Amino acid sequence: MSSPAGARRRAGERCVTLADRVDAAAAESIAVRSPPTDEVIAQVPDCSRDDVETIVDRARAAQTTWTEWPVEKRVAVLDRFCDSLLEHRRDLLDLIQLETGKPRHNAVEELLDAVGTCTYYVDTAPKLVESERRSGAFPAITDARVHYEPVGVVGVISPWNYPFNLSLTDAIPALAAGNAVVCKPDERTPFATLFAASLLEAAGAPPGLFAVATGRGETTGPALVDAVDHISFTGGTETGRAVAERAGQNLIDCSLELGGKNPFIVLDDANISAAVRGAVAGAFANAGQLCLAPERIYVHESVYEPFLAELCSATESLSIGFEFGYGPDVGSMIDGDHVDRVDGYVQEAIDDGASCHVGGRRRPDVGPHFYEPTILTGVDPDSRIACEETFGPVVSVTPVKDAATAIDMATNTTYGLNGSVWTTDLGRGRHVATSLDCGTVCINDPYLVGWAALDAPMGGVGDSGLGRRHGPEGLRRYLESRTIATSRIGPFVSPSIVPMGLYARALVGSARLQRRLTRLKRRLSPR
């Protein structure tokens, strides 16, 4: 590993070069700052509506070439791209750290997630885009086939907390399906995505196929939604509502992963030490700036005291700081406004009677945007910190008398993204998991086993979003289905020599026969 100063210098120099890749004539620019120091890294164009339209037009032209390639040729490009991610991993990790302030082990998670997503769709895309034979209207004399075609240009609006993998986890399946992609990263974190675009082009993708439009969300975001054929958004719930409304006005589809207020249920038979390790790893990953992170911990009253004591001890032992290496456990938050928001929620909860056992303080001695991992108890269930997504290194811990109470409290929310259940009885855990109104529930893990199950769909319900990423569903959302039905005997109309009444009775008889055959098939099919 090179020196921290050398890594910072090289990453900063690369950012200046990457900013020149944005194909825009923007009159203004945005200063991107590194959260651990609040120093300016580089300037990126603040794209106007005209800039976005130009970028999308160029992507649409590149998509014409890309979609004509056989899927095997497309995934070969993605396969080479995946290799290049690993080859350039040190540069990517430096960029991710520089623009987010997260610890290096959290940056590695971003890289590995992108590599895993790429590997999965390189393997599965050829099958997922194949035409399918379906049952025709009348057996033997008709058939139906479903063909899948790319929607065109996909817009990806990605957030600042995991900017690299949350750009690529949506872009890779879209590209594998034959689409072009225009990504609008958060204006605070554009550089790792720009680097990915350069690596994809070097791997053989047509120039402009995966483009990046930098700019402020209030201008660049709506312009992108208006110009593309599908929009994939990851971010806050209120912004997601606006994206969905605009997509609906344009009659394009959208997929949205939004906020969460994720429950973490510790049953009376749980392995306490394992549950504590999971709570610390989940709640304080990326300084709690993770949509899947647990924010509400419900613990059976019989194990509440030992769980809380061990959780406080483990949290107090976490190190806080930043370096280009595998050092501190908890890194910087994204900016001062976000620190103000999180601290405001914590102080408000304390004023309302909550107890702060660990943390609850800013750490300006470490850097401008650092905040201590925080554990609260006695939180008012109607307070903001109990009901709204905190998105910081803060958890509340609440005792419950039984699993039913934990389920009731866990589901008392409009969110439904992720949940976790801790128990040594896996059957019991699965039973509790099915009672939680979440898109994903993990047993004996905070979120990773669900997120990393790339063959399974992932997404939220309620205020946590629409649509699914990962699995076949994560690629099929970027395809239009077209049915081609064939009759082997000509048009299904009454022959001129057959009375209409007789023809109608024949059709009814055919329907009855088809129902009998369907029932027989059901009885004979193994269950």
Task: Specify the CATH number for 262-457; select among 3.30.450.40, 3.30.1120.10, 3.30.930.10, 3.40.309.10.
Answer: 3.40.309.10
183 is catalytic: no
Contact call for residues 271 and 279 (beta carbons, < 8 A): no
Contact call for residues 98 and 194 (beta carbons, < 8 A): no
Contact call for residues 174 and 154 (beta carbons, < 8 A): yes
- What is the pLDDT at residue 398? 98
List per-residue pLDDT tens for the chain, 527 residues long: 457 778 888 888 999 999 988 988 888 999 999 999 999 999 999 999 999 999 999 999 999 999 999 999 999 999 999 999 999 999 999 999 999 999 999 999 999 999 999 999 999 999 999 999 998 888 888 999 999 999 999 999 999 999 999 999 999 999 999 999 999 999 999 999 999 999 999 999 999 999 999 999 999 999 999 999 999 999 999 999 999 999 999 999 999 999 999 999 999 999 999 999 999 999 999 999 999 999 999 999 999 999 999 999 999 999 999 999 899 999 999 999 999 999 999 999 999 999 999 999 999 999 999 999 999 999 999 999 999 999 999 999 999 999 999 999 999 999 999 999 999 999 999 999 999 999 999 999 999 999 999 999 999 999 999 999 999 999 999 999 999 999 998 887 877 787 888 878 888 888 898 888 888 888 888 76
Cα–Cα dist 400/212, whole Å: 48
Cα–Cα dist 388/371, whole Å: 19
- What is the pLDDT at residue 27? 81
Cα–Cα dist 418/100, whole Å: 23
Cα–Cα dist 470/402, whole Å: 34
Contact call for residues 369 and 36 (beta carbons, < 8 A): yes
257 is catalytic: yes
- What is the pLDDT at residue 23? 85
Q: In what order do the strands lie in the sheet with 230-234?
A: 210-212, 180-184, 153-157, 230-234, 253-257, 465-466
Single pTM value for the model: 0.95
**Count of alpha carbons within 13 angstroms of residue 238, beta-carbon side:** 2
- Whether the CA torsion 462, 465, 469, 474 is positive or negative: it is positive
Q: Do domains 4-130+148-258+472-477 and 262-457 have the same CATH topology?
A: no
- What is the pLDDT at residue 1? 46
Q: What is the CATH number assigned to the segment(s) 4-130+148-258+472-477? A: 3.40.605.10
Burial 308-338 (b: 16+ CB within 10 A, else e): bebbbebbeebebbbebeeebbbbbbbbeeb
Which of 325, 315, 152 has its CA nearest to residue 227?
152
Which of 313, 240, 311 has its CA nearest to residue 282?
311
Catalytic residue among 99, 110, 187, 257: 257
Q: In what order do the strands lie in the sheet with 142-150?
A: 132-134, 142-150, 479-487
Tell me the domain boundaries of the chain.
Answer: 4-130+148-258+472-477, 262-457, 491-519
Which amino acid is residue 89, in one-letter code?
A: R
